[in-house]
Structure 1
Amino acid sequence: MHIESGNPQDTAAAGGPRIGRRMLLSAGAVLAAGAGAATATALGRGSGHQAPALPAPVPHYGARQSGLTYRQLPATRLLALDLPATADRDALRGLLAALDKVLAAASDGSLADPRLSAAPVSSLAAVGPALAARLKLDAPAELAELPAFPGDRLDPARGGGDLLLQISAEQPWTTGVLTEHLLTAARPFGAAPRWSQAGFLPNVPDGETPRNLFGFKDGTANPDPADPGLWHSDGTILVYRRIRMDTAAFAAVPTDRQELAMGRHLMSGAPLSGTAEHDDPDIYIKHPDGSYVIPVDAHVRLSSPRLDGGARMLRRGYSYDDGPDDRGLLFCAFMRDPALFTRVQNRLAENDALNPYLTHNASAVAWVLPGSRPDRPLGATL
């Protein structure tokens, strides 16, 4: 969770003067005669008309993968793959190089597919702890599976995986087509899909925090992605949780009680201890009667960085909607050490006022590799 144009209108009135057939024919002739000249003018230098600017591509190559360095795009797809038990390091390097080629072409618009048009695409690729251990890869020592948490209802078919890929774009159409290309590239190496999950963000103005399906702003207190505390030599660790949200039950709760459970005001996103969204929640301030302004079981309190020495996760979550009874949050958080998530989730699992409305039903951890270069594809350093 938080952890801390419409069509132009016709201007002619319905009761306005009627236009005769001869007038229409005359006007049509004038328009037809001038069509070529008008087109030439529109395309000429002096016309003042310009074709719509194409969106700038997202740079694929760089020290860190674009799925973490570029802004969150509104449509995403997570795809987990399993490798054959006989796969070795060379097979993994070959697979990652093939996937990197597809992702680079998708990013710069050179992927040959008539279904794709120029559009921003960001991506990341990550290695699961089981594969890292099996192949004795040079992954961070902190990479490990999460422990079991109270209240978990995990479906193994929806979580885990040897490789985890994430592709994000402006439209789900794009992520669906790219998933096909990635699976085609993976097939010669024996990699098989384990699970796939689509997610989305609501349309919000640039700089505004999107809301989750409970209606609250989600992702307010995020660290700067450049914070060195998140990284291992340009790589980091992803914790993924698929969290079903009982939106109907939560919507039936009065707004003031929702705000007490969350620890934030619904409309402004401000913490109960402040007045603006980005005010730092003061989990220690009290009312005159001695009770905490942000209640002891509020989500914001239990996930506060103040309880973890100031350590923060970079949260880039998405909502999902797989049917009326299966809607919720794709919690994607990036950190140097998943032990941070374990501490926070243990506190939440024990006391969070939101627990009656949340069910964690899938989980994964993966080492997000450093970025690639044209002469050094993903995984070359493994």
Structure 2
Amino acid sequence: MHIESGNPQDTAAAGRPRFGRRALLSAGAVLAAGAGAAAATAIGRDSGHPAPAATPPAAVPHYGARQSGLTYRQLPATRLLALDLPASADRDALRGLLAALDKVLAAASDGSLADPRLSAAPVSSLAAIGPSLAARLKLPVPAELAELPAFPGDRLDAARSGGDLLLQVSAEHPWTTGVLTEHLLTAAKPFGVSSRWNQAGFLPSVPDGETPRNLFGFKDGSANPDPADPGLWNADGTILVYRRIRMDTAAFAALPTDRQELSMGRHLMSGAPLTGTGEHDDPDIYIKHPDGSYVIPVDAHVRLSSPRLDGGARMLRRGYSYDDAPDDRGLLFCAFMRDPALFTRVQNRLAENDALNPFLTHNATAVAWVLPGSQPDRPLGSTL
């Protein structure tokens, strides 16, 4: 879950405030109060001096060498959608489907999608091919694309896992991702696809530049590779590993703070590793106490997921929290890497020894090849 490769916010794009789940619940009241205040102010103002027009939010560039769902900063609301193609589908059908989806995503990004429910707002997206479809159509995908092995402790739900085609759309508000999902399904309908599963996620509201916390209360994403790191990419594409991880937040919260910190390997409030003083200090998994025990315990999550155990290899992590029911809350682990064998090595260590295991249940999984980006004359999947 809190893999030490982390999940920072991309600072290359202009920052925008995030809206967490609680903030969204109260958004209507806030907007109503704001509208009333604005009206009262306007009545008392000289009509010859109208208020300046609000600056519209900048659009997220859809076209580029790599898809915007990886190059743009994480937006606070996301939806993942898995589709299955009919058994009769061939490469031409797949290319047609991807072109139709790309048209919707491009229009959503530049604000030209005709829908009164949508307003100009940042939207990022990605589309990825599952290994079963790649094998069935003999697609030219990286040899590393393969299903993950079974891990000890997995409780996977097949109805929530896998898929021929994975889509992700992210925005400032869940409203937007829901409307876009509707448009994507409408565009896909002529190709006979079926919806396999979909999952909504969110990030908590934090000031720009700060690391968001997960549902255990710890900062989640303190050390991540640069998204431009060539070690993550293969011909401007990469591989997504997705895991839906239920978290027993009540049981974890009942632990004393020091037990929580020893289990994680980081301090709760600062996010600093137990071997450092600042959040972004590199965890030193080899420092010991005078009695010979490790400062970061042998079963600490940070130790077992440390890149030092994998020759420095890292995965780009852009995870989200989910909250589907009081007893079904947790993490949507979304990590990107050139070879999912890295995730397999890390997860095998975690499954065997992680102190967090009593509080975690992996109940869904997927792997997919994230396609290179598109251009106006070269839609998604044109290279397939």
TM-score, with structure 1 as normaliser: 0.88
Q: CA deviation at 1:361?
A: 0.1
* Alignment deviations for residues 37-67 of structure 1 (CA, whole Å, 9 cap, x no partner): 9999999999997867xx0000000000000
* Alignment deviations for residues 268-294 of structure 1 (CA, whole Å, 9 cap, x no partner): 000000000000000000001100000
Change (3 A) 1:300 1:188: same
Q: Aligned to 2:336, what secondary structure does the other structure show? A: strand
Q: CA deviation at 1:375?
A: 0.2
CA distance in 2 between counterparts of 1:253 and 1:194 reads 37
Contact 2:82 2:165 in 1 (8 A): yes
Which of 174, 181, 184 is 1:182 aligned to?
184
Number of corresponding residues? 380
CA distance in 2 between counterparts of 1:22 and 1:256 reads 28
**4+ residue stretches of structure 1 with deviation over 4 A?**
5-52
Q: CA deviation at 1:141?
A: 0.3
CA distance in 2 between counterparts of 1:123 and 1:317 reads 14
* Alignment deviations for residues 63-120 of structure 1 (CA, whole Å, 9 cap, x no partner): 0000000000000000000000000000000000000000000000000000000110
Which of 93, 100, 103 is 2:102 aligned to?
100
Contact 2:61 2:109 in 1 (8 A): yes
Between 1:159-168 and 1:4-13, the stretch displaced more is 4-13
Could you tell me which runs of 5 or more consecutive residues in structure 2 were left unpaired when the two chains were aligned.
Answer: none
CA distance in 1 between counterparts of 2:36 and 2:107 reads 38
Change (3 A) 1:352 1:39: closer
TM-score, with structure 2 as normaliser: 0.88
Change (3 A) 1:26 1:110: closer
CA distance in 2 between counterparts of 1:360 and 1:14 reads 34
Q: CA deviation at 1:23?
A: 41
Could you tell me which runs of 5 or more consecutive residues in structure 1 were left unpaired when the two chains were aligned.
Answer: none
Change (3 A) 1:346 1:111: same
Of structures 1 and 2, the larger Rg is shown by 1
CA distance in 2 between counterparts of 1:141 and 1:25 reads 45
CA distance in 2 between counterparts of 1:220 and 1:24 reads 25
Q: CA deviation at 1:220?
A: 1.0
Change (3 A) 1:139 1:20: closer
Contact 1:42 1:48 in 2 (8 A): no
User: Hey, what does 1:249 align to over in structure 2?
Assistant: 251
Contact 1:272 1:281 in 2 (8 A): yes
Contact 2:18 2:76 in 1 (8 A): no
CA distance in 1 between counterparts of 2:27 and 2:178 reads 47
CA distance in 2 between counterparts of 1:302 and 1:79 reads 30
CA distance in 2 between counterparts of 1:257 and 1:189 reads 52
User: Hey, what does 1:230 align to over in structure 2?
Assistant: 232
Between 1:133-142 and 1:43-52, the stretch displaced more is 43-52
Change (3 A) 1:30 1:378: closer
Q: Aligned to 1:46, what secondary structure does the other structure show? A: coil
Q: CA deviation at 1:221?
A: 1.0
Q: Aligned to 1:290, what secondary structure does the other structure show? A: coil
Q: CA deviation at 1:218?
A: 0.5
CA distance in 1 between counterparts of 2:209 and 2:21 reads 53
Change (3 A) 1:266 1:48: farther
Between 1:163-172 and 1:5-14, the stretch displaced more is 5-14
Contact 1:42 1:49 in 2 (8 A): no
Change (3 A) 1:50 1:160: farther
Change (3 A) 1:168 1:31: closer
Contact 2:18 2:204 in 1 (8 A): no
Change (3 A) 1:282 1:116: same
Q: CA deviation at 1:219?
A: 1.2
CA distance in 2 between counterparts of 1:21 and 1:131 reads 35
Q: CA deviation at 1:253?
A: 0.3
